[in-house]
């Protein structure tokens, strides 16, 4: 929510610009308009893309008589999530495994593979391990070595092997 606290009267509109997004790149061109509530607050949806970091936002309130408040500046930070994607494959047939459970450590998130054996996790850059299981028949399992997800994401085929009978 953006609120222009410098306006003396309740705002009818809030003009705003996001530096580094759309037509306002490198400037304070207030090309976007949203209606504001009686308290001067306005909700703004911002498509920030995949560039991470701090970005300034500029706003001016316009009251019902057309008077403009001074321009105010705020900041928001964009954090990018990367994806760790892949496919679970049966090592005996080389076919995708549908319905396998893939676990991401150290966060402990689990997903079930889709119709093509694919899986996907949204993650921060870092080190992760994958473990896969399939109840079968036949029962399959497998795990990865430690994987590093960097600023580009990662694709990894997880091979599942038949479990030995005890």
Please write the tens of the pLDDT for every residue from 98-156. Answer: 999 999 999 999 999 999 999 999 888 889 999 999 998 899 999 999 999 887 789 99
Residues pairing with 29 in the sheet? none
Q: pTM of the full predicted structure?
A: 0.55
Here the contacts of 27-33 (C-beta below 8 Å, separation 24 or greater) are 28/58, 28/71, 30/58, 30/59, 30/60, 30/71
Question: What is the structure's pLDDT at 155?
Answer: 93
Phi, psi of 135, rounded to the nearest 5 degrees: -70, -20
Please write the tens of the pLDDT for every residue from 58-101. Answer: 777 777 788 878 877 877 777 667 889 999 999 999 999 999 99
Question: What is the structure's pLDDT at 11?
Answer: 47
């Amino acid at each position: 929510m953006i609120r222009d606290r410098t306006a003396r009267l309740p705002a009818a509109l809030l003009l705003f610009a996001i530096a580094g997004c759309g037509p306002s790149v490198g400037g304070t061109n207030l090309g976007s308009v949203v209606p504001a509530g009686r308290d001067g607050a306005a909700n703004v949806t911002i498509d920030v893309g995949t560039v991470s970091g701090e970005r300034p936002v500029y706003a001016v309130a316009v009251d019902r008589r057309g008077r403009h408040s001074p321009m105010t500046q705020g900041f928001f930070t964009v954090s990018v999530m990367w994806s760790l994607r892949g496919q679970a494959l049966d090592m005996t047939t080389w076919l995708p495994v549908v319905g396998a459970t893939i676990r991401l450590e150290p966060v402990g998130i689990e997903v079930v593979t889709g119709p093509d054996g694919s899986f996907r996790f949204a993650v921060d850059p870092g080190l992760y391990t994958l473990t896969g299981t399939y109840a079968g028949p036949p029962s399959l399992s497998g795990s990865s070595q430690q994987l590093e997800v960097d600023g580009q994401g990662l694709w990894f085929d997880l091979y599942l092997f038949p479990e030995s009978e005890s």
